[in-house]
Amino acid sequence: MIEKLAPLKHEGEQSLYPNRPMITVGMGTCGIGSGADLVYQAFSSYITEHNLPILLRSVGCFGFCSEEPLVMLYLPSQPLVVYSRIEPSDVPSLADNLHEGRYWREHVLCKISAWDHHLSFHSYGEGLAELKEWNELPFFHSQTKLVLRDAGLINPDSIEEYVAVGGYRSFASVLGAQSREEVLALVKDSHLRGRGGAGFPTGLKWELMAKEQAERKFVICNADEGDPGAYMNRNEMESDPHMVIEGMLIGAYATGAKEGIIYVRAEYPLAVQRLKRAIAQAYEHNLLGKHILDSHLSFDLSVVEGAGAFVCGEETALIASLEGKAGRSTAKPPFPSQKGYLGCPTTINNLETWCNIPLVIGKGSNWFQKIGTPKSPGTKVFSLVGKVKHTGLVELALGEKLTTLIYEAGCGSVQSTKRIKAVQSGGPSGGCIPASLFDTPIDYENLTKLGAIMGSGGMVVMDNDNCMVDSARYFLEFTTKESCGKCTPCREGLSQALAILNRITTSEGRMEDLKLLSELCSHISDTSLCGLGQSAMNPVATTLQYFQKEYEEHIQQKHCEAGTCEAMVSELCSNSCPLGMRIPTYIALLRENRLVEAFTSTLEDNPLPGTLGRICHF
C-alpha cells in the first residue's frame, strides 16, 4: 500500500526542498493577526515585480506566537534561517539578500540545520555557526515536538507536502499488513491517554466499540476547544490537518467504523477552511471514500461546525448537538461506545489524541512509552498565555515540571518587577496552582493531587497584579453561563457560589461564606451530571486552599492587594502603595513613637522612601 503514495511523495519533495531559494511565511491565525498576511503579500508582489527566482510558500504556525510574524528563508545546502517580527518594510532586504545567495542579518531568531519529522528525517545543510539552533532557544529547548512535528514547516493546503514528510505512511502500512486486532493491541500497549482532559486510555475506548456488533459505527473528533486562552487544537488543524485525517482513518480501520465527523468550533474559520480542503484532497487521492487505496476499507469524513457552547466539549452533549438537539449531557451508561450518535456505537476522541495515532503506529508502542512517564506516556501540547514573556504553543514530554514550562519556555514574568503568583491549569474548570508548587511534574495524577486537571492543555499564568478571588469569580462566571442547566447541582449550585464570590469581591463578604463555598465545592462536584459541573468549582476550591489569606483580606479588611476588585479601591495611591498591607502597621509604630522600626518597615517594601514621603498623606 505504501507504494501507492509514491506519486504524491515525489511531487511533494520537489516543492518542499527545492533547488532554489525559498521563503516561507507562517500563516496561522496568530501569525495573520500579527500581520503575516501583509508580509506574504509584500513578498509575493516584490518577487513578481523583480522577477526573482525565489519560491514563496505559506505554512502553518511554528508555535512561538509572541515572536510572530515568523518567516523562514532557505538556500540549498544551508540551514533554514528563522526570522521573527518581520514587517512588510523588511521584505526588500530579505528577498534581495536571499537572491544574492546570503541571509539578511537583522531580525534573525535561529537556524534549523536538521529536522526529525519522526516519520522521516531531513538535513537542510551546515554552516552559519554564529546562529543558535532552534532548540537552543529557551522557548524550544525542552520541547519534544511530536504532535507539532510538521507545524510551521509544511503547507497545510498541500497533501503532497504532508506525504513528503511521511504522512499517510502509517495508515498505508496498517492497511497493507496489519489486522484490526493488531492495531488495537498496538494502541493499547502504547498506553496513550485521551488528550481532552480526562485521560481515559485510548486503546480501551477503541476496544469497547470494536466489540460492538452494529451495521453503522462512527468515529468523532472532538475539536470543540472552548477553554479561554487555549488554542492547541486550532493550531493543529490550521497547520497540519492531514494528520487528524490519518489518525481517524486508522481508528476507523481498527474499530470497524465507516463514517467519521470532525466537530469544530465555528469560531475557527481558518481551521474549518483548511480541514475541508484537506478532506477534499484526501477524497481526490482515494484516501477517503470507497475502497481506499484499492482495499476493502471504505470511510467517509465530514466537518460539522458547533455553535460555541462550552458544554458541547462533553461527549454526550456533543452527540446531542450533532443530532440537532440542544447541547445537554445525558447520564452514562449507556456509553457512546454502546449507544452514541444516532443510537449507533461511537468513539469520540480529542483532536490531539487522533494526532498521536500515526506516530504510535509508525514508530511503535515501545518507542512511544519511552517518552513521558510510565502512566502518562507521550507529550502534551500546552498553550502558554498570560503574564509570561514568551507566549505560544509548548509541547513537552509528560512528566516535565511546571517550572520548565513557565520559567524556561515562558521565560518568567512579563515584567521583571512583577512576581508570578499562580498558573491556571486546564481552563475554566481547572485549578489555580501556586508558584510554590511549580516543581510539580505535569501529568494527570500529579495535577489531580493539586486539585487541578490537565484539561485540553491551557495554561494561564498570573502574577501579583491578579486577584485570586476575582480570578475564581471570573472562571466560575464563565462556567455558570455555559452550564446547560439540566441538573440542579450545576444549575443552582454554581449560581449560588457565584453570588457568594460577587459579595466577597464587592466588600460584602462574611467569614461564614468561606465554609459555605467549601461545602458547595464538595456537593456540586459529587452530584453534577457531567464533567462541566463536576469540575466547575475547581478554581474556587484551589484558591480557597492555596490563597485563603486573600479571601480573608477581602472579607475582614475590605482590601484587594492586587487592586482588581474596584469596590475595595477607595484611594488609588493607597491601593498602589508599595507598602500595601503594611500601612496600618507603619502608622501604629509611628503612634507608639517607634520611629526606627517604622523607618525600617518602609525600607522593606519601598524602593524610594524619600520620594514617597513627599507625596504620601500617611
Q: 15-66 pLDDT, tens per residue? A: 566 789 999 999 999 999 999 999 999 999 999 999 999 999 999 999 999 9
Would you state the cell numbers that stand for residue 356, as one nine-digit string?
498521536
Around 453, how many Cα atoms within 13 Å sit in the side-chain half-sphere?
23
Q: What is the pLDDT of residue 615?
A: 59
The answer to whether residue 350 scores a pLDDT higher than 60 is yes
Cβ atoms of 350 and 456 closer than 8 Å: yes
C-beta separation of 360 from 190 below 8 A: yes
Q: Does residue 90 carry a pLDDT above 90?
A: yes
**Is residue 606's pLDDT more than 70?**
no
Q: Which range is least confidently modeled, 12-16, 313-317, 327-331?
A: 12-16
With 90 as the cut, is the pLDDT of residue 593 above it? no
- Residue 586 has a pLDDT of 64
Q: Is the pLDDT of residue 575 over 90?
A: no
Task: Over range 553-568, report the average pLDDT.
Answer: 86
The amino acid sitting at 220 is: I
pLDDT at 418: 82
Handedness of CA 491, 222, 35, 460 (dihedral sign): positive
The reported pLDDT for the residue numbered 583 is: 60
Which one, of 462, 446, 445, lies nearest residue 539 by Cα?
462
**What mean pLDDT do residues 366-387 have?**
95
Evaluate the CA torsion angle 438, 443, 447, 453 in order and state its sign.
Answer: positive
The β-bridge relationship of strands 458-463 and 379-386 is parallel
pLDDT of residue 404: 96
Which pLDDT band holds residue 585 (cuts at 50, 70, 90)?
A: low
* CA separation for the pair 84, 13 (Å, rounded): 26
Average pLDDT over residues 138-165: 95
Between residues 429 and 25, the one the model is more confident about:
25
C-alpha cell at 234: 486550532
**Residues 108, 156, 257: CA angle, nearest 5 degrees:** 145
Encode 249-263: b = buried (16+ Cβ within 10 Å), e = exposed. Answer: bbbbbbbbbbbbbbb
Share of the chain above pLDDT 70, in %: 91
pLDDT of residue 14: 46
Give me 520's grid cell.
458547595
Task: Give the cell for residue 134.
Answer: 532552534
- Strand pairing of 346-350 and 218-223? parallel
What are the Cα distances from residue 307, in Å, to 324, 485, 579? Answer: 11, 17, 48
